[in-house]
């Protein structure tokens, strides 16, 4: 593992690190914020999964999360959204290929050689963090924006006991029922739609639910709201009688202005679960 940069940040350290990924078969980069308390021992951790076209850097620099994480004494992890490198398959469209890994393990060519983002987020990166940093693996929570909200919800429901809480900003809630999902799931996983259900938050909610609190915010003027399908997730939550808070925020869109406006709420929400 290589240290790309480390900067003092709200009394702690905002670092960027790279490493050779076995899962993705390429070099990967991630950001990690450690609060001041990390100097004395392991701290709880909140994972932040970013959306389409993003890297590890977008939320790290735009979300304003470090100030609130420092206040609550929790670490933040900012993984990348896809494998990277000259040998990694890509597409001319912004919503497939690099920057658009959708947090799945691709089974179809040419994507399967590198696009193993589920294994990277669920197994490889957590193990790396536990080995090199003062992270309390028993106290984890997860959030994300858009495609990352989709990833946060599907990982949380598919890995019972891993995360104490889950939240999302404008998540892609029902990708099997949307053009933001059917295209990518076909490309990465193939035509068999039965293999898509494990990566659809609304379907997973009906099947599994989540053993913990959920918070979801979506802007009422989000320009992609028809693709996000928050109503499908709301219906599944009601059907499952799942503990959850779903909020439609008047006037907010899909941007990081929206994310940063409600980041304090989300970090505090997770801190309550992490320190319980």
- For the chain, give every domain's residue range: 2-274
Nearest to 71 by CA among 241, 264, 273: 264
Counting Cα atoms < 13 Å in the Cβ hemisphere of 14 gives 16
Q: What is the pLDDT along the chain (276 residues), one digit of tens a residue?
A: 999 999 999 999 999 999 999 999 999 999 999 999 999 999 999 999 999 999 999 999 999 999 999 999 999 999 999 999 999 999 999 999 999 999 999 999 999 999 999 999 999 999 999 999 999 999 999 999 999 999 999 999 999 999 999 999 999 999 999 999 999 999 999 999 999 999 999 999 999 999 999 999 999 999 999 999 999 999 999 999 999 999 999 999 999 999 999 999 999 999 999 999
Q: Which two tokens stand for residue 202?
A: 């609304």
Please tell me the CATH superfamily of domain 2-274, with its number. Alpha/Beta hydrolase fold, catalytic domain (3.40.50.1820)
Q: Is 263 in a helix, a strand, or coil?
A: helix
- DSSP 8-state class, residue 145: B
Closest CA to 80 of 112, 41, 115, 45: 115
Q: Of 196, 103, 112, which Cα lies nearest the Cα of 156?
A: 103
Q: Which residues are catalytic?
A: 146, 222, 254
Angstrom distances, CA of residue 28 to CA of 53, 83, 211, 245 = 16, 7, 31, 34
């Amino acid at each position: 593992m290589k240290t790309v940069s480390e900067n003092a940040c709200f009394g702690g350290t905002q670092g960027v690190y790279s490493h050779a990924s076995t899962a993705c078969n390429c070099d990967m980069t991630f950001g990690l914020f450690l609060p001041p308390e990390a100097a004395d021992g392991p701290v709880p951790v909140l994972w932040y999964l970013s959306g389409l076209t993003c890297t590890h850097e977008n939320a790290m620099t735009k979300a304003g999360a470090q100030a609130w994480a420092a206040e609550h004494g929790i670490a933040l992890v900012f993984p990348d959204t896809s494998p990277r490198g000259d040998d990694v398959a890509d597409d001319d469209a912004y919503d497939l290929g690099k920057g658009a890994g959708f947090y799945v393990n691709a089974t179809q060519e040419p994507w399967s050689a590198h696009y193993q983002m589920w294994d990277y987020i669920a197994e490889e990166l957590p193990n790396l963090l536990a080995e090199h940093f003062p992270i309390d693996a028993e106290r984890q929570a997860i959030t994300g924006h858009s495609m990352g909200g989709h990833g946060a919800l599907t990982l949380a429901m598919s890995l019972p006991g891993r995360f104490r809480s889950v939240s999302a900003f404008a998540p892609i809630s029902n990708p099997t029922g949307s053009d933001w999902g059917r295209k990518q799931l076909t490309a990465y996983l193939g035509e068999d739609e039965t293999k898509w259900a494990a990566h659809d938050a609304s379907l997973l909610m009906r099947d599994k639910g989540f053993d913990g609190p959920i918070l979801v915010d979506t802007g009422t003027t989000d320009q992609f709201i028809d693709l996000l399908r928050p109503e499908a997730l709301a219906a599944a939550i009601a059907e499952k009688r799942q503990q959850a808070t779903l909020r439609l925020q008047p006037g907010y869109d899909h941007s990081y202005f929206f994310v940063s406006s409600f980041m304090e709420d989300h970090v505090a929400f997770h801190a309550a679960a992490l320190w319980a």
